Chain A
Amino acid sequence: MKKLESRHYVFLGLFVVILLTMLLNVRLEIRVSPETQKMYNYIDSLPEGSVLMVSFDHEASAVPEIKPLALSILRHAFKKGHKLIGVSLLAEGTGIGYRLMQETAGEYNKVYGRDLVYLGFKPQYIAAILSMGESIPETFPEDYLGRPYTQFPLLDSVKNYDNVAGVISIADGSLTTHWIEYAHARYHVPVTAAVAAVMMTTYDPYISSGQLHAMVGGLRGAAEYEKLLKIGGSGRRGMLAQTSAHLYVIAMIIAGNIVYFLRRNKRVKS
């Protein structure tokens, strides 16, 4: 049998720490950050019945982080009585987006066609964003299930971004940038985002300049949003794993540095 190396013990330690934390099911208190509060206030302040476009711009790999975020946003929007148009600019997000919209619509007794419509995937995201600015029915002549655009009462008055209160990009990469640079800059539609934590600093300049109206990010953002909505969810539960993993990494950094300084001092002395 191959001898275990130090990295294998590090891997094993992380696995055990996350497993134990999940089994313990500790309830951690979370403080809501100003950026999550801003996103919540934005959706909360829109008049009832506002039409929002939700774009699922993420891949399958980010689902564990993106799903709690998306569910929180969708639940809030449906709870406030907003109408949702779902689209996807990344092929992998298409099926996931449809499932999430169907799931949350069912929770709030929303009717497909009247309260929500899922238009599905359009390749070439920049072209799709620009094209929807000119005409949404020409960009998506049919919904995800292949039914004509004109069949749905919700879409009767929706021709382009002028008839949409805002766009929410649910993304794990840089696709929100294209919504900002084309939909906001060219057609002046307010853009907000729910993004993976790793992408948050990418969008900070856009938040600072006001080009991105609001942003909520990562599992922590999802947990904060769930707290604002006063519901339990996978965001708050996921924060347990994330917190324990972060503490483990911090412990590893400290341990690594202690070993480094001890060895250096030993070398200097010898």
Chain B
Amino acid sequence: MTRKIPQIICALFGMTLFLLYFSQHPTARNLNLTILNDYFQIIFAFTLLVGVVSFVKVNLKAFERGEDRSYHLVSVIGVFIMPLLAIIWGIKGDSPFMWVFENIQVPMQATVFALLAFFVASASFRGFRARSVQATILLAAALIMLLSRSTIGDMIADQIPQIADWIRNYPSMAARRAILIGIGLGSLTTSLRVMVGIERTWLGGDK
């Protein structure tokens, strides 16, 4: 019974939302709007709560075990400080919340993201080798793309941007389309399997 009820709710809402998406009837559109604006937001609030509780539990357990205590402490303090700042002073304009966001979070995230450039440079030296024909083709394509996305490519030869466009418009796009179609068919199949109850892993397995 504990598995049947969630399955019935899932199938019912899945079918309802599917039908509502295609219906132009005013009642259907109003119902759709209510579900999108109210139900989805309530679900989001609960998932957020689950995420926060799980994050705090994991970090506190790690703190108790004595692993990298300072990092876990900063993480937990951050989780509580930000909502506190938001509740007391709000999140708009020149609030302390925005100050922390703009002067701590944005530079930190940008720094971490920028570090990728250093790892790419290191990986290009140590791992990007012309070991086979396929690797050589990949390497040549990478060099052309790198040149085309800098200003030097245009200066060296007019053909470099043209070759880069050809790579993007033919081999790259063919692969991308295949992936997109695969994802689409996969999503459709999985959704149907969940709705009709064949796929039950989201309930914790087949037992």
Contacts and interface: CB of A to CB of B under 8 A. Distances in A.
A135 B32 CA distance: 11
B129 A256 contact: yes
Contact of B129 (A14, A220, A249, A257): A257
B173 A250 contact: no
A19 interface: no
Contacts of B143: 250, 253
Nearest to B178: A205
Contacts, number: 154
B36 A131 contact: yes
Interface residues of B, number: 55
Given A63-B106, A64-B114, A131-B33, A33 B122 contact: no
A61 B106 CA distance: 6
Nearest to A29: B151
Contact of B121 (A28, A95, A220, A248): A248
B92 A247 contact: no
Nearest to A241: B117
Nearest to B149: A220
Given A63-B110, A138-B33, A239-B150, A253 B142 contact: yes
A20 to B, nearest CB: 15
Given A60-B110, A249-B124, A95 B37 contact: no
Contacts of A131: 33, 36-37
A138 B36 CA distance: 10
A28 B151 contact: yes
Interface of A: 6-7, 10-11, 13-15, 28-31, 33, 59-64, 92, 95-96, 98-99, 123-124, 127-128, 130-131, 134-135, 138-139, 144-146, 186, 197, 200-202, 204-205, 208, 218, 220, 223, 239, 242-243, 245-250, 252-253, 255-257, 260
Interface of B: 21, 29, 32-33, 36-37, 40-41, 43-44, 91-93, 98, 101-102, 105-106, 109-110, 112-114, 117-118, 120-122, 124-131, 139, 142-143, 146-147, 149-152, 154-155, 161, 168-169, 172-173, 176-177, 180
Given A10-B121, A31-B161, 16 more contacts: A60-B110, A63-B109, A92-B101, A138-B33, A186-B21, A204-B168, A208-B173, A242-B149, A246-B147, A246-B150, A246-B152, A247-B152, A249-B146, A256-B125, A256-B126, A260-B131
28 contacts: A6-B126, A10-B125, A11-B122, A14-B121, A30-B154, A63-B106, A63-B109, A63-B110, A64-B114, A95-B91, A95-B102, A123-B44, A124-B44, A127-B40, A134-B36, A201-B168, A205-B173, A208-B169, A220-B149, A243-B151, A246-B149, A247-B150, A250-B146, A253-B125, A253-B128, A253-B142, A256-B128, A260-B131
